[in-house]
Chain A
């Protein structure tokens, strides 16, 4: 019989970021071994949508483009701890410090369609105070903080137009005023100035800043009328100026567009009472982001700007992968934008110094192994079984059924990592030498990560109390109908979740080039660019990875492209082998067409009148490059469509009393598909089992 002091056995199903975060939290030394964790992973590598592999010439092959944002506090905390612990265990690994593994990427660009061509707006964001994951004694996440920061940003943008300098002597620049004098100043300005002149507009914005300095949320409710009228007047002036900007001064027009968008946010926040609404920004989640901005006065020019399209691209926010249907929940977008622009630390973006697998999942694997976590690779979940309803107990999981895709020779644990330049890395293919019938499996072309490949070496069923006590279900939401049908059938909230929390298929390709990006004609610093032409709207210069790979021929630059892929499986069916091949061929065709027709806009020297210079690619042609169609349920990107967030279930949900869920598809407070959401989810899953970490220690979980 189990003694009370016996460790609880936790089966973590899936090896993505959220699942491994849960394992990391449950095996902290502070728990003194209370939890005995086993991770069950399909195929040969960890990482889920973040998995990467080393292919030919040790090149890094990713699912897509992965960048970390400077507000990913939980994710960076996890990595910083993980690197510190890894360094103690494996002091000779390269990237000993997290700052070696993550580098600032402050240059960000968006593309604007101008006539038949494109223009690029590149900005270098200044370094934010501190570093992501730093300890802090304050919680900056309040609506009033964001509104105040928004007005300060408007003032800075105005300064960039030269207007603020013209009006340096405006009364708005004087010392802080009391509430009464502010109300009086607003009344006077609205009555006499009508905000028609430059000085009045600058003063109006100055007054708004002071309003946000002194007003408490309660005052928002009581004194809302005047600031709202003021915002209307200021907004009207801004839109007037936006229309007056001549075509030639596009830089100025973009600044006015951003001011226009921020004013719409301020106005909408007032009108919707976001500072006081118990739902926080979720109060506006039934709106599409652009629709909500329009309702609050943003101009068509602004909501269709490259800046806005960049945000939709970043979130793969196109329903069913259809780029003509941009849809993004307004509250999720507003929260994400506020966090992204006003709470980033160090750098707006951070890029990894090698593949995501090497930088994130190798250290996690090494640390978790050292802590005693067991890893069962080649375990593909088939079914999560519930105890019969007549058991009289609350619903609980009584069995986990797996296909064993391959067995390890000698019955030991599969050793998944390879060394590349002293960096523990994940190979792009399994090491067949470790597997029973390895040569035969390789010859048969086993696709261990493909949904369609059901070939197996055996089965395994884990029984509750005999083999496990708790389950962390860390597979993606799109896979649930195929592996958790009993859970879905049992509970209507699960039915709602799988119906409403939708995912998108994505496509990506990577090219290795013999010329540097500058030689190809890109005149700007290395950047991450969004809002570009479909089917590949996002490009990132990843040339910093060249030294991490092992090229014999000279490779000077690497480019990653990605975007959504029109969904070939809208009914949620599993992809077949044939469909997988067709979609892969489609991505190839898309990439070739893109390089022929659109790459010249980015790299004028990479094209001739006949099209792309294929000899500029390492290996001599496109077939030597890498591309992927992410259509497997576990590879699909989790979206935040309007009206969907309320159907997300929390890892804290108690519907099944021995199961918790983990993934960026769960209710995390952030509710977006990203690494930070996944880490928050993993921490919540750990809390669901162990009551640790405390919820208030999950940074940003309690957020408007």
Chain B
């Protein structure tokens, strides 16, 4: 019997990544990623609005309303287009990670390892909205590109064009890389549109806004 011949495993790449490559790719990649995210969020919000009546029939809501990759979400599964965007974004994130040093974390780092590799790509943005309310409400967060990576706070939500106590039980946090928006609406909160700024914790600059519409 012939002894099988061993062959080398083809390497992932055969040349160094010159920094210029990473910078250029990074710039282009980030631009593409934000375009994808923006479009995905726009379509996701549209889908959420379209299906609002189907999930908003219960007396209270305290659900994880992640719009990302949760087909069992009571908000309903993503529309087909949303899933396509999601898949595209994940494919982009995976592919792009391969171009970054440390993109594929290794199971074994030899003791000789010198410069630690930069952190691997964080993957696609995950945004979840948690609402506690006895009234039907719509929550619309808007986040500027890049702001999902930094610490954020949100101002109390003020009634838009009418006098009402602000909704101040509003938080925005990062949990395990996900942006989590949490809103608690008092039972006697007047109906209407409330809005507050999302700010960068570090300098207070506006990073987006959060709109809650009650009673529609």
Contact = CB atoms under 8 A, between A and B. Distances in A.
B6 A143 contact: no
A137 B118 CA distance: 8
Given A278-B24, A470-B6, A692-B108, A704 B18 contact: yes
Contacts of A139: 101, 115, 118
Contacts of B176: none
Contacts of B23: 142, 217-218, 275-276
A2 B102 contact: no
Contacts, number: 150
B5 A465 contact: yes
Given A81-B112, A657-B8, A696-B117, A702 B18 contact: yes
Contacts of B106: 692, 694, 697
Interface of A: 1-2, 8, 25, 28, 30, 73-74, 77-78, 81, 133-139, 141-143, 217-218, 274-283, 393-394, 396, 464-466, 469-470, 650, 652-654, 657-658, 660, 667, 669, 687-689, 691-697, 699, 701-704
Given A30-B108, A77-B112, A693-B112, A280 B3 contact: no
B27 interface: yes
Smallest CB-CB A-B distances: 9 pairs: A280-B18, A704-B19, A696-B101, A669-B16, A699-B114, A652-B14, A469-B6, A465-B3, A702-B17
Given A279-B18, A687-B11, A689-B8, A136 B24 contact: no
Interface string B92-105: 00000000011010
Nearest to B10: A654
Nearest to A394: B7
Given A2-B3, A658-B7, A694-B106, 6 more contacts: A1-B3, A77-B114, A137-B116, A217-B23, A469-B6, A697-B115
B117 A697 contact: yes
Given A217-B23, A280-B20, A699 B115 contact: yes
Interface string B23-57: 11001000000000000000000000000000000
A135 B6 contact: no
B146 interface: no
Contacts of B9: 691
Contacts of A692: 106, 108, 110
B6 A74 contact: no
A217 B110 contact: no
Contacts of B5: 393, 396, 464-465, 469, 658
Contacts of B216: none
A170 B155 CA distance: 44
Given A276-B23, A470-B8, A667 B15 contact: yes
A135 B16 contact: no
B21 interface: yes
Contacts of A652: 11, 13-15
Nearest to A134: B114
A691 B19 contact: no
The residue in B7, B13, B104, B112 that gathers the most chain A C-beta atoms within 10 A of its C-beta is: B112
Given A688-B11, A696-B117, A702-B18, A81 B111 contact: yes
A702 B17 CA distance: 5
B8 A688 contact: yes
B109 interface: yes
A658 B6 contact: yes
A654 B101 contact: no
Contacts of B112: 77-78, 81, 693, 697
Contact of B114 (A135, A279, A394): A135
Contacts of B6: 8, 465, 469-470, 658
Contacts of A281: 18
Contact of B18 (A218, A282, A654): A282
5 contacts: A136-B116, A281-B18, A466-B3, A658-B7, A696-B117
A530 B109 CA distance: 40
Contacts of B187: none
A640 B1 CA distance: 48
Chain A: interface secondary structure?
loop
Contacts of A695: 11-13, 101
A693 B101 contact: no
B1 to A, nearest CB: 6
A2 B6 CA distance: 10
B80 interface: no
Interface string B109-145: 1111111111000000000000000000000000000
Interface residues of B, number: 40
Contact of B8 (A1, A654, A704): A654
Chain B: interface secondary structure?
loop
Contact of A1 (B1, B22, B110, B113): B1
B59 interface: no
A142 B118 CA distance: 14
Contacts of B101: 139, 695-696, 702
A362 B14 CA distance: 32
A2 B5 CA distance: 9
B4 interface: yes
B162 to A, nearest CB: 40
Nearest to B118: A139
Interface in B64-114: 101-102, 104, 106, 108-114
A657 B17 CA distance: 23
Contact of B110 (A30, A276, A282, A396): A30
A28 B115 contact: no
Contacts of B22: 702
A701 B116 contact: no
B14 A650 contact: yes
The residue in B18, B101, B113 that gathers the most chain A C-beta atoms within 10 A of its C-beta is: B18
Nearest to B1: A1
Contact of A702 (B3, B16, B111): B16
A280 B19 contact: yes
Nearest to B8: A657
A2 B114 contact: no
B125 to A, nearest CB: 22
A324 B101 CA distance: 42
B20 A693 contact: no
A703 B20 contact: no
Nearest to B110: A693
A25 B113 CA distance: 12
A448 to B, nearest CB: 32
A356 B18 CA distance: 32
Interface string B179-213: 00000000000000000000000000000000000
Contacts of A2: 3-4
Contacts of A142: 19, 23
A693 B112 CA distance: 9
A652 to B, nearest CB: 4
B212 to A, nearest CB: 36
A691 to B, nearest CB: 6
Nearest to A686: B110
A340 B43 CA distance: 52
A46 to B, nearest CB: 20
A691 B17 CA distance: 17
A689 B11 CA distance: 9
A687 B114 CA distance: 16
A75 to B, nearest CB: 11
Given A693-B110, A695-B13, A138 B115 contact: yes
A30 B6 CA distance: 21
B113 A693 contact: yes
Contacts of A280: 16, 18-21
A703 B23 CA distance: 12
A331 to B, nearest CB: 10
A396 B7 contact: yes
Given A135-B116, A217-B23, A658-B8, A703 B18 contact: yes
B114 A276 contact: no
B3 A279 contact: no
Contacts of A138: 115-116
A136 B110 contact: no
Contacts of A658: 5-8
A218 B9 CA distance: 37
